[in-house]
Structure 1
Amino acid sequence: MDAAQQQTPQQEQSCPPSACESCSSSSCSATSKKLTETEQEFEDRRRLASRLCRIKHKIVVLSGKGGVGKSTVAVNLAMGLHLAGKKVGLLDVDIHGPSVPTMLGLEKSQVLEGNGELVPVDLNGMKVISLGFFLKEQDEAVIWRGAMKTGVITQFIRDVAWGDLDYLIVDSPPGTGDEPLSVCQTLEDADGAVIVTTPQKVAAVDVRKSISFCRQINLPVLGVIENMNGFVCPKCGELTAVFQSGGGKLMADDMGVPFLGSVPIDPRISEAGDSGVAFLQRYADSTTAGLFQSLIIPVMEELEAAQL
């Protein structure tokens, strides 16, 4: 199936005149039209600015390597903040493998349109957007080139009625290509990135590239999470090393970025995701859930302290 046959969100043709009227900042770049802009480009930029100014904190979850549990971290990071009483949005920009709908039990959900906006799926107060909501079939392949991916990612930020959020968590696909670059360029004032790795050297080598990517585009690295650090026995709770441990911390120390901590392989994490419930929600009292929360709280406290 070619790109023209794929379902995409309808693009709004005009911007409401009040898009930026709530902004009192004289330094806001969206208050005046650039000489090189068309009227439509200016209105699109104003609409984007009106969305972003209502989101306090924006965090991008990145990894240079696939299969490290990045989406698991993004989903549970968002859920942890939501359970802490924060207003949270979760944006899945993994165009070719959107897994967030499955992990949250939202496969049959649809994004509605209202007042010229895309209305995100509501999960008990947490707002969720994914390309998976726009596919006719779950097995449908998305065969797009860079320009189409960039356009849809921009729409998901600019045209979605996110409202007032404390946090927007972005689950980005692995690598340093079109999708992560589009997200970071669109979220010009993003707070930073959480980098996910696993302990093995082969993963850490690729993840180092994500840190270099962040530095090249001036995106702060909030910290590194080492996933799958040992196996937790579901019966006795004993932790057994599966891979060589400590690779994430060594890599973080070598690259000069914060190390947030490690999360073990816990069979309940995959079981929760497969059943469509975030692990932190289903197994809130487990030791592994406590580890997840201990990774989230320092990031939240640091960002909120910096805003005071």
Structure 2
Amino acid sequence: MSASFASALTAARDAAALQHYPQGALYVVATPIGNLADISLRALHVLQLADTIACEDTRHTQALLRAYGIDKPAGHLLALHQHNEAQAAQSIVERLHAGQRVAYVSDAGTPGVSDPGARLVAAVQAAGLRCIPLPGASSVTCALSVAGAIAHTPDSSGFLFAGFLPTKSAERAAAVQRLAAEPRCVLLLEAPHRILDLAHALAVLGERPVTLARELTKQFEEITTLPAQALGAWLEGGPQRARGEFVVLLHPCAAPADDGGEGLRVLRLLLAELPTKTAVKLAAEITGAPRNALYDAALVLRRDPPA
């Protein structure tokens, strides 16, 4: 433990110890996604207080606890991950019935969003027991806060969390086509060994802005916004750019052009008779309007045709 976290434990006790922490409850605890200083004071207090800490990887969590100066015997840690969540959840329910305080942490961030934890919470709630959230670090909200990708219009406010897309190329391409018509910001997650495949799949979105956020809160954090069709070239532009965990944000779809625009008028006529790509190609050739803008407009018109 560094000396800086010794004072954090004292601050955690002073700030959080007077609150009530019921027994027989599951505490869902967010942990840092990279920078250890992003732990909350209440999380530090509950991790010290817990009778059992359930976690994705006991070795990873033991190292995290030791970094903060929290000493838990190995027997107080219980593995709960995607391969054993249903079975381990029942063990946790039994511990809660016995009056234990159980904390659950994933390897990083807020449990149950993209990491395990949802089935555990469902099992605890089904048993009539209490689940208490301890908010904190999340790659989802972290990336959203600096991407400037959430619009505030009636049709495109908010965002869609899509998580990891399918790994097979055909299924991934189909998923991208479905998301292309989504007017809101779309948030994806991707691992480093698949980020180039995802970038190539997203290239069909043309000029649509995409924000890549990698290694959030860590030493080599990098956040950049590019047209979708330029993502692959950017990632291949430096050996370090494809390293680390990624949050990928598709900015909202461009709104269709003004109703009086010749390109949009021709596009509407063609869409009534032809497939989308053919209609866009012909509309661009006939009117000289930008093909990418027409394609974005076609996706919106297919989703929400005029009355």
Which gives a bigger RCO, structure 1 or 2 (Cα 8 Å, sep 6+)?
1
Q: TM-score, normalised by structure 1?
A: 0.29
Q: TM-score, normalised by structure 2?
A: 0.29
Structure number with larger C-alpha Rg: 2
Going by fraction, where is helix more abundant, 1 or 2?
2
